[in-house]
Chain A
Amino acid sequence: MQDFVQHLINGLSLGSIYALIALGYTMVYGILKMINFAHSDVYMVGAFAAYYVARWLGIDAQPGLPTLITLLIASMVVCSVLGLLIERLAYRPLRNSPKLNILITAIGVSLLLEYGGQVVFGADPKVFPEVMKDFVIFSAGGVELKSFDVTVLIVSLLAMLGLQFLIHKTKVGRAMRAVSSNISVASLMGVNPDRIIAFTFVIGSALAGVGSVLVGMKYPKIDPLMGMMIGLKAFVAAVLGGIGNVGGAVIGALIMGLSEEMVVGYLSSTYRDALAFGILILILIFRPAGILGKYSVEKV
């Protein structure tokens, strides 16, 4: 029983990390109907931005709230600018081309960031600065709840609620939904689609920045390829929850984290990655729209 509860905590904690990244995939998909495969590499750049800023300011060995906030801001700013640049330089020129071209471009941008990252940052892993001290919040019967686990879960839930609010209750959100349902009609109604799409990229990338600092805090090893696997898993999580659906991304990610944890805990760790993609295949066969997604009929 004790182990099961521990697995549950570990799984939720892993799932909430996937959730932070899955939100970025789902947002861009929701607006543009494209999968931004470079998203997880923006997250990687965010981690390195925080690493270099911490070293530059000399706060890499001073854990505490000021360090956390500084690094969060640094990482979010760098990620937003990068997201904006990618959108402007790689995706906007292709806005009216076939979906496949945009998809291939996204993969290209992703590879560029991964291998460019190896050139710029070096391929050897770096140690993320100590941002906060991890402490026990709650302990019972050998099961411990740590502050990092709770922080990541709360941040991803807050991000989800924040996004829901932004999309459904604000003027920008209404414009986003308009662009999502039909770009040309939205622009006829006085919405500037370029600006809204750029805004979507900024929010999504800033979330990746938040994710990178939180993950770096929990797993203090960063390298230029760190986004690869976590990005794929988060993408599967977004599809599982219903891509384009903000709540679905979080639910999908938590399910992914929990099932991975249980598979490793009770079966074998070799099935860990196979499971993620097994889930993807099953979802695509039996419920292609995902758990919370709605079927949409395309009119021809």
Chain B
Amino acid sequence: MKRLLLSLVLVLPLLAGCTKKDNVITIGEYDSMTGSEATFGLSSNKGVRLAFDEINAAGGIKGKKIDLKAMDDQGKNEEAASAVTRLITSNKVVAIIGGVASGRSKAAAPIAQSHGVPFVSPASTNPDVTKIGDYVFRVCFIDPFQGAVMSKFSSETLKIKKAAVLRDVKNDYSVGLADAFVEDFKKRGGEIVSDLSYQSGDIDFKAQLTQIRSKNPEAIYVPGYYTEVGLIAQQARQLGIKVPLMGGDGWDSDKLSEIGKEAVNGNYYSNHYTTESTEPAVTEFIKKFKAKYNETPDALAALGYDAAKILAAAIERAPDLSGKAIRDELAKTKDFAGVTGKITLNENRDAVKSAVVIQVDGKNRKYISTVAP
């Protein structure tokens, strides 16, 4: 009797799991909801939730409701890997919406690849991420493009000939952008007068900035994350460096202005979309996002939304819920009208689309120009 009871106790949850699985589709998400890049993860998560809530309200996918399992990786690679393992092995998710930070995606995507679970990153821009395998996708452009965008912008629009680079050597993303910028800038006949580095977590950058100051560049490319960039901008202005700073989408956070105060104003960065756009897809998204969260969505929220919508569309088209079927449909994504532009996934599973250049102006972000690939 005892043994029977015990086996019932063991089997019941499994049965419950089975019945539950029949009317919902479980999709996993992991992101940095806490840690030094928390605003990225939180924004992306809000975008994903908004997309799935909309789809559920409209009847779900294949008549089934989407059940989103979100996990926090605290901005740590090992946590990202364990979150994805848990999502796949215990939550039995059909697909994963992956990390924002490239480092986190590189740690987690191989696990999804080896289990044959489709993995869509909203914002990991490092080129190596999708090279992990044919189950790994992304809905954003890649670093070489983003670095080249700022190089093109600085030499064509700002007419800059001498630039300095300050990169975060601990951060794949920052190194990727810096390399792309340097290569493209030299190709355009510009000169890199100084190429220095720092490490995420540092708080004092005056030594590097003093050295940069002595080389008199006309602009400084700092493709790091907002946490350090805020401090770098402040210390640059304290040292009397007046030339513009430039960066990538890692700047896109309200905390940038909170940390850097007025020192970050007037500086430029490349981004995925602008809230000033008049495209109906964008205005509609901003309206819905504001209604739900009472705040203006940043680029990461828009990318999270697009990633979720593209994944949902692929699942809807797929003949069944197997990883292979969903993967094949994801790979066929073409001209998807997303908030961050028309998204086509190329043979490398990367999105091909244009970037915008934004100028920081207090809490506002001024749209400057669009750069096509």
Q: For the A-B complex with A7-B210, A118-B74, A268-B197 known, give 6 more contacts whose Cβ atoms are closer than 8 Å.
A: A3-B210, A10-B207, A124-B35, A125-B36, A146-B238, A270-B199
Q: How far is the CB of A257 from chain B (nearest CB, A)?
A: 9
Task: Please state if A221 and B207 are interface contacts (CB–CB under 8 Å).
Answer: no
Task: Please state if A123 and B239 are interface contacts (CB–CB under 8 Å).
Answer: no
Instruction: Tell me if B66 is interfacial: C-beta within 8 Å of chain A.
Output: no
Q: How far is the CB of B74 from chain A (nearest CB, A)?
A: 6
Task: Please state if B196 and A269 are interface contacts (CB–CB under 8 Å).
Answer: yes
Cα-based distance from A2 to B240 in the complex (angstroms): 13
Task: Please state if A144 and B240 are interface contacts (CB–CB under 8 Å).
Answer: yes
Cα-based distance from A272 to B74 in the complex (angstroms): 26
Instruction: Tell me if A264 is interfacial: C-beta within 8 Å of chain B.
Output: yes
Given A3-B214, A223-B36, A270-B169, A125 and B255 touching (CB < 8 A)? yes
A254-289 CB contacts (< 8 Å) to partner B: 260-266, 268-270, 272-273
Task: Please state if A269 and B199 are interface contacts (CB–CB under 8 Å).
Answer: yes
Task: Please state if A124 and B36 are interface contacts (CB–CB under 8 Å).
Answer: yes
Task: Please state if B211 and A3 are interface contacts (CB–CB under 8 Å).
Answer: yes
- From the candidates A7, A221, A264, A269, name the one contacting B231 in the complex (CB within 8 A): A221
Q: Which residue of A lies closest to B228 (CB)?
A: A221
Instruction: Tell me if B8 is interfacial: C-beta within 8 Å of chain A.
Output: no
Q: How far is the CB of A17 from chain B (nearest CB, A)?
A: 8
Cα-based distance from A225 to B202 in the complex (angstroms): 12
Chain A interfacial residues counted at CB < 8 A: 39
Task: Please state if B34 and A221 are interface contacts (CB–CB under 8 Å).
Answer: no
Given A14-B204, A221-B227, A221-B230, A134 and B35 touching (CB < 8 A)? no
Cα-based distance from A9 to B34 in the complex (angstroms): 36
A-B contact pairs, 9 of them (CB 8 A): A3-B211, A118-B74, A127-B259, A142-B240, A215-B203, A260-B207, A265-B208, A268-B196, A270-B169
The 10 closest A-B pairs by CB, nearest first: A124-B38, A264-B207, A123-B34, A10-B206, A219-B203, A265-B207, A127-B258, A123-B35, A6-B210, A3-B214
Chain B interfacial residues counted at CB < 8 A: 34
B193-226 CB contacts (< 8 Å) to partner A: 196-199, 201-204, 206-208, 210-211, 213-214
Q: Which residue of A lies closest to B36 (CB)?
A: A125
Residues of B within 8 A of A266 (CB): 211
Q: How far is the CB of A4 from chain B (nearest CB, A)?
A: 9
Residues of B within 8 A of A64 (CB): none
Q: Which residues of chain B have a CB within 8 Å of any CB of chain A?
A: 34-36, 38-39, 74-75, 169, 196-199, 201-204, 206-208, 210-211, 213-214, 227, 230-231, 234, 238-240, 255, 258-259, 261
- From the candidates B34, B206, B214, name the one contacting A124 in the complex (CB within 8 A): B34
Task: Please state if A221 and B259 are interface contacts (CB–CB under 8 Å).
Answer: yes
Residues of A within 8 A of B34 (CB): 118, 122-124
A5-35 CB contacts (< 8 Å) to partner B: 6-7, 10-11, 13-14
Task: Please state if A125 and B210 are interface contacts (CB–CB under 8 Å).
Answer: no
Instruction: Tell me if A220 is interfacial: C-beta within 8 Å of chain B.
Output: yes
Interface centre among A118, A134, A215, A221 (most CB of B within 10 A): A221
Task: Please state if A269 and B207 are interface contacts (CB–CB under 8 Å).
Answer: yes
Instruction: Tell me if A229 is interfacial: C-beta within 8 Å of chain B.
Output: yes
Residues of B within 8 A of A11 (CB): 207
Q: Which residue of B lies closest to A17 (CB)?
A: B204
Residues of B within 8 A of A118 (CB): 34, 74
Q: Which residue of B lies closest to A264 (CB)?
A: B207
Task: Please state if A261 and B206 are interface contacts (CB–CB under 8 Å).
Answer: yes
